[in-house]
Structure 1
Amino acid sequence: MKRHNLLSLTFLFSLVISLSSCSVIEGIFKAGVWSGVLLVVVVIAVIIFIIMKVMGK
């Protein structure tokens, strides 16, 4: 096994041991929620921008 792969595997193993599964899942869902909120805000802003351009002509 290459040294880089062994180092990555060791890091991943220590990360899994140091974090409980609940906190890992919680972090993933928090990131997902904020990504979703940001995406919805951007989509609404683009729709409003398009409507303003169409109505402004």
Structure 2
Amino acid sequence: MNASRFTLFLFLSVMATALTGCEVIGDIFKAGAYTGIIAVFIVVALLFFIVSKMRGPRP
């Protein structure tokens, strides 16, 4: 019973994320190309920051 609940939760989480992502992308295209470029830059910078924090300090 736990595996099926986990699967359902995982499915619902993925669907909620995917549907929200499509809406955000549509809004970015409505706002314009420069807004999209800035949004992509911010997301890439945030991912780079998170990955560098996960790796820890370098000697």
- Smaller-chain TM-score range? 0.5 to 0.7
1:21 is aligned to 2:2: yes
Tell me the percent identity. 18
- What stretches of structure 2 of length at least 5 have no aligned partner? 34-59
The structure whose RCO (Cα within 8 Å, separation 6+) is larger is 2
Larger radius of gyration: 1
**4+ runs deviating over 6 angstroms:** none
Mapping 1:1-57, distance limit 5 Å: 20-51=1-32
Root mean square deviation of aligned Cα: 1.2
* C-alpha distance in 1 between matches for 2:10 and 2:30: 30
For 2:28 and 2:6, how far apart are their aligned partners in 1?
33
